[in-house]
Structure 1
Amino acid sequence: MSIAFNDVRATSATGLNMVTAGAVNWTSSATIVASNTAAQAFIGQVDAAITTMNTRRSDLGASQNRLESTVNSLGVSVENLTASESRIRDADIAQLSSQMVSNQILQQAGVSVLSQANQASQSVLSLLR
């Protein structure tokens, strides 16, 4: 948005108090003001534009704070989920290790029983001879 200060009457038509985005360009170093009333009206418009800009800046700041809070919260959630996953994996490893030891004991017991059964049959055969 460009505003020429050479024509103060044109400033009200430019909608300076409705600035949403963009810059106000100072097109002349010498400002021609037709009357004291026109100058006061122009200053009022500039004040309204500054107020609007400050309001928008505070809205953006509040949005930025909310986004930063959300990012921090999500970071904590990721850390907690990672820790939970690690604990679950550790618990599974401990359970699987105990199952493996149990299965090894059962296998050794089975081998021992078979060995004793073979020895018993060998003893019976040797008695019969």
Structure 2
Amino acid sequence: MKNEKILVLLSLCAFAFGASECDRKIDRINKEISFSKAHNDTARTLSLELALKQVQNDCAKDPMFYDKKLEAKKLKEQEVEKIEKELDALKEQKDYMSKAEYKAKKEALKEQKEKIKKKLKNILIISKN
């Protein structure tokens, strides 16, 4: 719930202070289309035009679609960093706990980190265009 509130506030700030991620994506793809047309790369041009239509469709449904994806990506990256710090702290405490306890905590943190990385990968796939 707290993350959702932060996401909404950051999205509103991004909207208030300039171009949205949708605008930037559309602009970036249009530039790539111009470049590929200038170099007679028909296959790339068609691929980019399809990507442009997808981005325009996503942005028509929700003008903050890619801003939200970008913010979600940042939050997941922060979660991964936090877990990595916890793993480092756990290594320092290794001598003060049993091998079984250390191994269990280490595995739990690594599992948690992998789950977050999978979610992050899905976010990247969705927002990649």
The answer, yes or no, to whether TM exceeds 0.5 is no
TM-score for both structures, normalised by structure 2:
0.29
Task: Give the number of the structure with larger relative contact order, counting CA–CA contacts within 8 Å between residues 6 or more apart.
Answer: 2
Q: Where is the helix percentage greater, Structure 1 or Structure 2?
A: 2
> Larger Rg: 1 or 2?
1
